Amino acid sequence: MAARPAKSSKPPRLKQTPTTKDAPTKMVAPRPEKFNKEQELAAYREMLLIRRFEEKAGQLYGMGFIGGFCHLYIGQEAVVVGMQMAMIEGDQVITGYRDHGHMLACGMSPDGVMAELTGRRGGLSKGKGGSMHMFSKEKNFYGGHGIVGAQVSLGTGLGFANQYRDNGNVSLTYFGDGASNQGQVYESFNMASLWKLPVIYIIENNRYAMGTAVSRASAQTDFAQRGASFNIPGMQVDGMDVRAVKAAADLAADYCRSGQGPIILEMQTYRYRGHSMSDPAKYRSKDEVQKMRAEHDPIEQVKLRLIEGKHASEDDLKAIDKEIRDIVAKSADYAQNDPEPDPSELYTDILR
């Protein structure tokens, strides 16, 4: 009988071989960029549009106008708005199923997004995609994907196409802390780094993969280091501060456009709502949510700076609020009254 190793309470010690000759892949995020008045106001409007839109979507879901799954972006607005501020014409965006905010930030019509949520013919996918599957060729938005992690390989393919065409564009590939544990993410990291593809991997770490806290699902919770095995640099960014996101986005875009390959931005953010509309969010305390809203809300931060910097008065902001509410109310109205798709649409768009 083979001898069993003696049980020991101490784990065996391994000889450590220092490997410091390789460049460290963990980068320090740049300081938040100082915004001028126009940038602050633009960020405020964009984020407010997403928040009000999502609140309305939640309401329409409650009224039965929106079916199936509906994942709201409330709390995470600074991430996509800050990223978009660094982008140029032709850069592509792709994300998972929490996608309404990304579409609005890409300039897709609120009417079209909302009508897709209600499954109507004026929806961006003619009512055939729904909340999780929307696209816009015109705005370079490549979805909208319901399979966790699939967009990472697809987004890497968008970067591949940019390199193939040598067009100077980058692919903004968004995914969450949950998707970060999928195998195809690392297959994609490997090829992106090997081939120096222009891809910014934006990990929106909102701390929960559905109901599982990052510490319960991830052996390495520093997502900026998830590319270390592939020599992909990464940094952790305050995803609640739109200026910090913008500064990191500029750095990342320059890095990719200069042909150095992919880069990872871990956006430390938070979703206020449950994972989807049917999630009571019992896996976290109310205090945690409340503290985040009170101290780190991305919109309130900008609002405060606008007032304190005398860039806008309370009345100015109220006027913007009203304008945004009107846009959202119009989209809700359109989405409720637009007809359902014609039955003949059942058999279209299967093949070209």
Decide if residue 145 touches other proteins (CB under 8 A): yes
Of 151-170, binders to other proteins (CB under 8 A) are 152-162, 164
Decide if residue 285 touches other proteins (CB under 8 A): no
Query: Judged by CB under 8 A, which of 11, 18, 24, 280 binds other proteins?
Result: 280
Query: Judged by CB under 8 A, which of 88, 147, 304, 319 binds other proteins?
Result: 147
Stretch that binds other proteins, among 6-14, 129-137, 252-260, 301-309 (CB under 8 A): 129-137
Size of the site for other proteins (CB under 8 A): 75
Decide if residue 89 touches other proteins (CB under 8 A): no
Decide if residue 113 touches other proteins (CB under 8 A): no
CB of 153 to other proteins, least distance (A): 2
CB of 223 to other proteins, least distance (A): 19
CB of 10 to other proteins, least distance (A): 37
CB of 68 to other proteins, least distance (A): 6
CB of 133 to other proteins, least distance (A): 4
> Binding string to other proteins for residues 179 to 208, with x set by CB under 8 A, is what?
----xx-xxx-xx--x--------------
Using the minimum distance from each CB to other proteins, give the nearer residue, 26 or 128: 128
Q: What's the angle, vertex CA 63, arms to CA 57 and CA 68, rounded to 5?
A: 65
> Binding string to other proteins for residues 253 to 272, with x set by CB under 8 A, is what?
-------------------x
